[in-house]
Amino acid sequence: MTPGPSAAPEPPDGVLARAVRILSAFDTRSTALTVSELSRRSGLPLSTTSRMVAELVRHDLLARTDDGRRIRVGVRLWELGSRAAPTRGLREAALPFMEDLHTVVRHHVQLGVLEGHDVLFVERLSARNAVINVTEVAGRLPLHASSSGLVLLAHADTEVQAMVLAGPLRPYTADTITSPDRLRVHLAEIRRTGFVHTPGHIRPAAAGVAVPVRDDRDRVIAALGVVVPNDDTAVRVVPALRAAAQGIQRTMTTPDRA
Amino acid sequence: MTPGPSAAPEPPDGVLARAVRILSAFDTRSTALTVSELSRRSGLPLSTTSRMVAELVRHDLLARTDDGRRIRVGVRLWELGSRAAPTRGLREAALPFMEDLHTVVRHHVQLGVLEGHDVLFVERLSARNAVINVTEVAGRLPLHASSSGLVLLAHADTEVQAMVLAGPLRPYTADTITSPDRLRVHLAEIRRTGFVHTPGHIRPAAAGVAVPVRDDRDRVIAALGVVVPNDDTAVRVVPALRAAAQGIQRTMTTPDRA
């Protein structure tokens, strides 16, 4: 996603392409970067980066940190992306059910959508002192490794499935599914049972459990999942997850909702 | 914010300025617009709008709706704005406390920051069947009218206060504060008592109650508020709100948090 200097592709043509390249350099772990870091991560010359940053700051899409030495995403960019976000209706329908679920499950409750060949998490509720979890709001995970990703992959177009099955299937732990044959069997099982359980697939101490969320035409539009300690109680959450997914579907398809 | 055709200013110079103008045309109520609507709202000629939309779609910042006839915000724009959002740390620290509060208060719990002369809401939890509320995530309200806005205004720079006090102070109901003198007294009261109660200021049936959220240097960085039915029980939530605001401050200033 963020090419280093050796892998730097040709600087893209067009102001918008360059702006997107710079905005893409920020991520959940790198929320404030110097102009040099932005230049290196975006693969744009320092002078171009500096000029683009100045223009992005002028439009409040980026902002300087208090000490003036680093650059961060501007509140305006968050606002533009959030107030009419395509996932907004889904998130608003899901949040009350996610809260109810969270009261019961504690740890982590998360909602993900298929975006490219990843699951993109649009919401997450976490408890203080919850089991370890690598998910973050607006963060991504590969489809084959995460419970939410597997649910989405099981119901994805055959084209997406073929691309993912063609690999590489990166291992996170010894339990991550890395064989295309095993993955194919797993996906069929998910379609049959309506849920997935991924004990230790990403971190040995954690287990994911996820179910599909459907729209009014019964198409799978999201995955609702929990991340809990990796013990034999994990699968007990399946009925509560299913009930919440039903509730979200009903809320989204009730015509008179606000 | 969205000039109509008669008020259309000169089309701005620069690709980025035009892109921002188009992205700003979407709001919480208008999440899908035709190219004509975008042209009208942005004040850009139809041909320019059409060309810009095509380029924004190419970068996934905008997307076409399923029927291809309207344009909506792209998932990529949400992702770029959210994953490194400046309000992310605050939101993540606040959410567990907001959930606990929501379990007690039901109705609406919301977190707002000062942005220009508005309160910008960065998070909201709502119950099904809650009292009416005009707040939305990534939505704005004027500082003088909303409980969260009044808390932020009470602790804002004198420059911001002077601008708001200079008016106009738009009334939402007969109870909205529209007199600069009354507003000034109210702001002093908020600084003295540490909370605000706005019975019927925006909708007759609803009351807002809000408290400041402070950072490690005791600067007010956000307002935590609830919207509940407009009866004499509203102020009873103040101690719970204060405790939650303390918890958020403690979480944000604990050096070893993840």
Q: What is the pLDDT of residues A23-51, one digit of tens each?
A: 999 988 888 999 999 999 999 999 999 99
Interface check A112 vs B, CB under 8 A: no
Tell me how far apart the alpha carbons of residues A42 and A23 are, in angstroms, rounded to a whole number.
Answer: 9
Q: Which of A31, A86, A120 sits opposite B88 (nearest CB)?
A: A31
> B85-253: which CATH topology?
Beta-Lactamase (3.30.450)
Q: A98-102 contacts: CB < 8 A, separation 24 or more?
A: A98/A123, A98/A125, A98/A224, A98/A244, A99/A125, A99/B99, A99/B102, A99/B125, A100/A244, A101/A224, A101/A226, A101/A240, A101/A241, A101/A244, A102/A127, A102/B99
Task: Tell me if residue B219 falls in helix, strand or coil.
Answer: coil
Question: Which of A170, A166, A116 shows the shortest CA–CA distance to A146?
Answer: A170
pLDDT of res. B3: 42
Q: How far apart are CA A38 and CA A71, in angstroms?
A: 9
Distance CA B205, CA B203 (A): 6
Is A99 in Cβ contact with B85 (below 8 Å)? no
Whole-angstrom Cα distance, residue A27 to residue A139?
8
> Which element (helix H / strand E) includes B245?
helix B238-253
As for the ipTM of the complex, it is 0.83
Asked if residues B63 and B73 have their Cβ atoms less than 8 Å apart, the reply is yes
Q: In this prediction, what percent of chain B has a pLDDT beyond 70?
A: 93
d(CA A249, CA A247) in angstroms, rounded, equals: 5
Whether residues B115 and A23 touch (CB distance < 8 A) is answered with no
Task: Determine, for residues B78 and A86 on separate chains, whether the beta-carbon distance falls below 8 Å.
Answer: yes
- The band of A2, judged by pLDDT with boundaries at 50, 70 and 90, is very low
Nearest to B219 by CA among B249, B196, B192, B197: B249
User: What is the average per-residue pLDDT within A168-184?
Assistant: 94
Does residue B9 register a pLDDT over 90? no
Q: B-chain residues within 8 Å CB-CB of A138?
A: 78-79, 82-83, 85
Fold classification of A15-82 (topology level): Arc Repressor Mutant, subunit A (1.10.10)
* pLDDT, mean of residues B65-86: 89
Classify burial at A232, counting beta carbons within 10 Å of its beta carbon; exposed 0-12, middle 13-18, buried 19 or more.
Answer: exposed
pLDDT attached to residue A169: 94
pLDDT at B256: 41
Domain residue extents for chain B: 15-82, 85-253
Q: What is the pLDDT of residues B203-238, one digit of tens each?
A: 999 999 999 999 988 999 999 999 999 998 888 999
- pLDDT for B11 equals 61
Residue A135 in contact with partner chain B when CB distance is under 8 A = no
A194-210 average pLDDT score: 93
Q: Name which of B116-130, B153-167, B179-193 the model is least confident about.
A: B116-130
pLDDT at A136 (0 to 100) = 78
> Chain B, 182-241: which have a CB under 8 Å from a chain A CB?
none
The whole-number average pLDDT for the span A220-231 is 94
Taking the Cβ of residue B102 and every Cβ of chain A, the question of whether any pair is shorter than 8 Å is answered with yes
pLDDT digits (tens, 9 = 90+) for A104-113: 888 899 999 9
CA distance B20 to A57: 12
In B, minimum Cα distance to A66 occurs at B86
Q: Looking at residue A87, what is its pLDDT?
A: 84
List of chain A residues whose C-beta atoms are within 8 Å of the C-beta of residue B53: none
pLDDT at A257: 38
CA dihedral B127, A75, A15, B5 (to 10 degrees): 70
Does residue A99 register a pLDDT over 90? no
Measured distance CA(B256)–CA(A152) in Å, rounded:
35
Specify the pLDDT at position B2: 42
Chain A residues inside the 8 Å CB shell of B78: 81-82, 85-87, 122, 138
